[in-house]
Amino acid sequence: MPNNLPILRVVRSMRPLPAVAQQVLTMVQDPDYAIDELVDLVRTDPTLVARILRLCNSARCGLDQEISAIGDAITYVGTRNLVQLTLVSCSASTFAATGNGRYTDADGLWRHSLACALACQELAQQTGLVPPATAFTAGILHDVGRVALSQLPAAALEPPAEEMPHERVERAVFGLDHAAVAGLVGDTWQLPGALVAALRTHHEPDAFAGDPLPAVLHLADQLALQQGFAVPFGRATARIEPAALARLGLSTSCLEELAARAAAEMERTAELLNLGARPCR
């Protein structure tokens, strides 16, 4: 744990994910998790149930008859969308706490996290090395460290003049980067160990040789940055590590197509889940 008292105070003050989200995170680590168990778990959270019903009955869905039973609503949105909706809903309030300034802003960071999560999911589906639900989870949570950093006074400072990867900019300004802070948040929230490790090491090429999740998260993060989603300080560069491509058996030529699919999925998901691509307070 770094000897950085201000960031430790911020991390300890961050509201943990709701209990239902913690349980979903644990459940989806197993690629063979039971859908019925997921549905039963969602039923226990009144706020989440209300959001799913509100989604299904929104004008965008165009239903002829109002849905009033959660079982019917879950059937309508589908199980994959149910996982997405659960994780996005439960993490949205965390991102709403992002401080707006030179470093980043709440809306931009939310869009980046959602874009990264969907790119993670696309990578997982293409490579078959990581369960898509686990990959989506890593993507949606990978920037919780930036939420914490945005609340420090240094977030208002000018970054170094030299162009460099965003994690290096963060280390120059704050003394540590968002990945290290995300690891602290994950430890504090007692998230699954493999997930915390991916949050902490997705900018460390030496970590890509083992569990493929950090490599998936690294590639997705850089693709989202290249698309202009929440670039720290507005000008930090994105750089894809060759070690991540090698670990996943991918070439640079396939990334453009993958990025296009992820962008299309971003638009579809924001529409389907009625998220507006921004956090809810």
Q: Which domains does the chain have, with CATH numbers?
A: 15-272 (1.10.3210.10)
This prediction's pTM? 0.84
pLDDT tens digits, one per residue of 63-105: 667 888 887 877 777 766 777 777 887 788 888 888 888 888 8
| Cα gap 193→204, rounded to integer Å | 17
Q: Give the Cα separation of 228 and 263 in Å (integer).
A: 12
SS3 content of the chain, % helix, strand, coil (to 5): 65, 0, 30
> What pLDDT shows up at residue 281?
40
Q: What is the per-residue pLDDT across 248-280, written as a single tens digit (0 to 9) for each?
A: 999 888 888 887 887 787 777 666 655 554 443
The counts of H helices and E strands in the chain are 15, 0
- What is the overall mean pLDDT for the chain? 83
